[in-house]
Structure 1
């Protein structure tokens, strides 16, 4: 008697947002440490801790640490696997929460000219559970894209005034 095998689809998300800047400006806002430090907290009422270092080269890493206080910090280390500025960025992401939980995912971000701006598309795979994927799809990435959008509207080369 053979045991039935079950093949589960990988847990992934894909979402896109139109942003008011060129692909180069959006790519730079997403990858430049100083710009990230600005947009990371641009919509916060209370300033928190944001530390970001970026070594933007294949094999290099981006390390982001953020949170409301030193004893409640989130950490994400992304290793750059592919960089095609300003079109595509592929990373392996290792994230951890203040309580010590961690996960590793694979992220592909593309930047395509879209009318008067850029269509930024995120494809992330490797989530350990559907509820974590759903949180990233409905909160984490939406919040990040909202912040990048606000940054580009107020700090970008073609800032909307």
Structure 2
């Protein structure tokens, strides 16, 4: 899969499959889109193990940060086409985010998952780089309970 976020507030999931498709079919966005409350200016995603397959970090125009857990599913009728189940957005405490209305320019997870703790960095127009430690196990359990 390939994920894109844009100023029209949409995050799209694109089907980039190993299966042989014609070019137009291979690059159609799936029906699994998410609408954010404001323009998406940055995103990054990492693979997980467990019930949720991916963790996505999203940076917004306002300086706010959000996390989503994602799980692709396939239907029996059309096994080649996946649908992505999105968790509710996990919102960062605004006091920990960037200065209000200072656009997030970049979010990035550390490249290698070595434990249940994952580092996430973000940079914004406020001139700061913020680094967060995310406990993936606690995050998944909290989402399962909600």
What TM-score comes out, normalization by structure 2 length? 0.30
Greater strand share, structure number: 2
Greater helix share, structure number: 1
The structure whose RCO (Cα within 8 Å, separation 6+) is larger is 1
What TM-score comes out, normalization by structure 1 length? 0.28
